[in-house]
Amino acid sequence: MNTLISREQDYALRIVAFLAGRETKEPISVKELSKSLMISRSFTARIVHKLKKSNILGTVQGKFGGVFLNANPSKLSLLDVLKTAGFNSRLNACLYDSYTCPFENRCKFHFFFLDIEKQLLDTLKNRYISEFKFFS
């Protein structure tokens, strides 16, 4: 099954939304984070690493260390998080610059898919983690 948003990208959104919704801003261990979100520890660590590289998350080393949300959830878009986790999907192959179509400029599907994709990206760019924060 092909999906537009991968499981890793979905989990990245959940991790960031979870951290945004915590009452405390104290670091949480990767072990506790993975347990709370029911994501494997290794998968959580890999996603946390990517989010840290983009400065979305911060980390504290040591016995009482862990991860925390470093970015302002009111300014952090869903698209920011998705791109950090590798999102670069196109709605249709014909939308890639490298794609050559014999019906270029005559195909109404191309322009239809281009419009839908633009709407999707605009929506993801204009929705912020603060709208989705949760704590379980």
Predicted local confidence at residue 6, as pLDDT: 92
- Find, among 115, 83, 102, the residue nearest to 6 by Cα: 83
CB 82, CB 124: distance < 8 Å: yes
pLDDT at 136 over 80: no
Q: pTM, whole model, 2 decimals?
A: 0.89
The helix or strand, by DSSP H or E, that contains position 58, with its residue range, turns out to be strand 57-60
Q: What are phi and psi of 71, to 5 degrees?
A: -95, 155
Domains in the chain: ranges and CATH: 7-87 (1.10.10.10)
Question: Which pLDDT tens digit goes with each residue over 19-38?
Answer: 999 988 899 999 999 999 99
